[in-house]
Chain A
Amino acid sequence: MKMERSSGSHSLRRLPVSIWGLVVIVVLVALFLPGFARIGNLTNVLRVGAILALASYGQTIVLICGGIDFSIGSSVALCSVVTALAVQQLPLGLALTVGFASIIIVGAINGLLIAYLKLSPFLVTLGMLLLVHGFAAIVAGGLPVEVPDREGIHTLSGGVFLGIPYPVIIAGLAAGALHLLLERTTLGRSWFLIGSSLPAAQATGIRLRRNTFLAYVLAAVFVGGAGLILTSRVAAGEPNLYPTLPFETMAACAVGGIPLTGGRGSALNAVIGVIVIAVLNNAIVLLNFPAYAQLALLGIIMVGAVIAQGVPSWTRSSRIRSL
């Protein structure tokens, strides 16, 4: 069936639809909540959003190549526990490296099982969610592990450079790196192709196993950044650190306009999704809603955002194309 694409301005057309949603939300919130547009508040919004952003970059990679990752909540928890235990014997920098490595190892196990044994990403990462969380809890002895040098470890999440918090700088640089990775490398391109059609990617001669494995490992690198900043913020080894993280990253990606069906997405989509969620969370706090209402509202807004921007594309894909 022939289909005319709406021909608008080339550069405008390339922007994700979700960016208009972001603009509308930011304008509305800024107009009606005087406290929002203050520099201090904006910095805070970004600081809070940075952790979700880094984790969402990882989720973005995995979603693009047709997978999904439920295990990142458990792996940041593992990172905090491992770091907290390691810091008792090792210098801080080395302890953080060990914590980071633990997330990479989880990513590599995911990648091995998914790419080389061809297990379903949903199952593997769900299994790893439980497995890694159980492991972290056993290692920690079921209780949070105290970090002796709280000041030092706080630097990563609390430090400021030119008025910008470190986490925001890291998330910003990571967004650039992710963009480069997705748009300007053959590895990134191959993820799009793998996510779009696995058999076609194979027939084309793309190195499926290696590239899928690398997707999970590189996703873990971004998640590792989130894990380190989180660890630095709580300054403890916490087995129940952020269990809803995988769900929130999926929400961020979906709100930003990345379909969970694979083959599409960009760093910009992820950034937009994260900022929308961070701004809305902030607005709910500024409005003095009861803390419980935040959850309910977030749920409604997330689903609403996805419905709102999905409408044009459904009408196209839902039709039975040819009999």
Chain B
Amino acid sequence: MTSASSVGPDARLTGTTVGPPHRPHALTRDDVLLEARAIVKEYGSTRALQGADLILRAGRIHALMGENGAGKSTLVQILVGAAAPTSGTIALQRSPVTFGGVSDAIAAGVVPIYQQSSLFPNLTVLENLFAFETAASHGVAGHQSVQRRRLAQQMLNRIGLAVPLDQPVASLSLGEKQLLEIARGLGRDCKLLVLDEPTAALSQADTNRLFAALRQLASAGVGILYISHKTDEIAQIADEITVLRDGVCVISGAPLKSTSMQAIVSAMVGHAFNVGEKNLPAVGSSVLTLVGASRRTGDPEVSITVHACEILGIAGLAGSGAEEIGAMLAGALACPHGALTVNGRPVGRMGDRAAAVAAGIGYVPADRSADGLFPGHDALRNASASILDHLTKFGLLSRSAESIRLTAALTDVSLLPNQPRRLIEEFSGGNQQKVLLARNLAVVDIKALVLVEPTRGVDVGARDIIHNRILKAAAEGLAIALISTDLEELTSLSHRIAIVRDHRLTAELPRLSSPADVASAMLGGRQ
């Protein structure tokens, strides 16, 4: 029993080293691969999905779009066996299936690639690549076999990731981890690949690599479900599109060629949405200045100045150091060298956020759920966190002052639903981001605001509100540093765009540079 079952997965995998890595499963292009009908999912009294349909065909890349809370994630969870539908049917190659868990779905050839990392930091690259096999196998593990190593190397090569197989994943960069995650999914012998926001932490070059790999898989007959917020990516890669809104399909499997982006966006938000030029305020005197800062001795030193009423865009690929420069500007990163000043006055020690807040520097970090939110607390308490010392009466915290001051701040950012006493984790990603913005705008005597990826994973409606609030803050005189990989956001909002490469500021582009110019500057002429 032991030997037979332990050979199982290995045999399947080693087979792929000989032949082409993804056999076509006797599927011809356009055959219906998976058909989900009238899927309903209820969580208590909430109906996350109310009768969604999805048809995925072999060899097609099918885009799934929708605002946060539209039911995308729920639908994906049901498709990959991570959740059970309340009602509705799923058929795989025309025979009905019920997945009892993720392992069932994987065994049936439906392989998920997750948005959040599902890697094991304590294990090596090799062990992570074969996590699915380890999860399903029994008996003595053959994870060190030569064949497995060779196969693992091929899996990495497909996506162009060169990391040692025995390196612990904890020491990989964010972008490398994301690529590893994708490499693991692509390496599966699968019929249907489900990718949920795979490019969130990827640079443009890495995204291109991913797309090339996806096209190749599709041409081999694999069906692909691609979930993304980024309309330009969808236009680039997808064949068909489904759009969800409030748990129902508003566009259902339409060919992308005959569907305009405008139509898709308005289907998502339920109303027409304008992407256009923004009016920026005139720039004032210098406010936030970072001089000669470097993360470690020997690293290049960075100096940067942001002026009043100015939005300074900072662009860089994943791992280029753009996010670190943001953290330095916010005084959130301990540096051996460098100084931060606000209006010419030095701001304590680098890495002392308390001093930076006292000097009036707001900071919205990149990873909202890990570094921004206080789960288990309501929106009000989340918003008041930076100004607690200013909410006291006779030395005691005044609940009424807190409520009055921050309810106003939350209304100001159009929190939806406008319930300050609601737990923060019950808001959508976009509204969580609004709460973080409100927290920083409430900082007493705020002079500068550092925003890192303020609209990452945020739906279109909230994105617009956040952008307008940023513009308003600039018009009110704040110095704003905007670090983002969303080039459209950068080019439409920034007065000028600083380019970061290898922890160095390499170029500065003027207002109204095109996203393509920024992209090529970020790549530094390598393309």
Contacts and interface: CB of A to CB of B under 8 A. Distances in A.
Interface of A: 1-5, 180, 183-186, 188-190, 192-193, 196-197, 199-207, 263-264, 319-323
Contact of B69 (A1, A4, A184): A1
Interface string B144-159: 0000000000000000
Contact of A199 (B80, B114, B371, B389): B371
B43, B45, B386 interface centre (most CB from chain A within 10 Å): B43
B114, B115, B330, B397 interface centre (most CB from chain A within 10 Å): B397
Contacts of B353: 202-206
B4 interface: no
Interface of B: 43-46, 48, 69, 73-74, 76-77, 80, 82-83, 112, 114-116, 196, 330, 332, 353-354, 356-358, 363, 365, 370-377, 381, 385-386, 388-389, 391-392, 395-397, 422-423, 425-426, 428, 439
B426 A3 contact: yes
B374 A186 contact: no
A17 to B, nearest CB: 15
A203 B371 contact: yes
A183 B381 CA distance: 12
Contacts, number: 117
* Majority SS at the chain B contact face: mixed
A318 B43 CA distance: 13
A206 B385 contact: yes
Nearest to A320: B82
B374 A322 contact: no
B112 A323 contact: yes
Given A203-B365, A320-B83, 11 more contacts: A1-B73, A3-B43, A180-B396, A184-B396, A186-B392, A196-B376, A200-B373, A203-B372, A205-B353, A205-B356, A264-B376
A2 B426 contact: yes
A205 B377 contact: no
Nearest to B422: A5
10 contacts: A1-B73, A2-B428, A3-B43, A189-B388, A201-B374, A203-B330, A203-B353, A204-B357, A207-B354, A323-B116
B395 to A, nearest CB: 8
A131 to B, nearest CB: 29
A8 to B, nearest CB: 13
B483 to A, nearest CB: 14
Given A203-B372, A263-B374, A263-B376, A4 B397 contact: no
The 3 closest A-B pairs by CB, nearest first: A205-B357, A196-B374, A186-B388
B377 A192 contact: yes
Contacts of B388: 186, 189-190, 206
A308 to B, nearest CB: 20
A204 B357 CA distance: 8
Contacts of A264: 376
A202 B372 CA distance: 9
Contacts of B397: 183-186, 188-189
A196 B439 CA distance: 16
Contact of A4 (B44, B115, B396): B44
Contacts of A2: 46, 48, 69, 426, 428
A1 B376 contact: no
A205 B386 contact: yes
Contacts of A197: 370-375
A186 B385 CA distance: 9
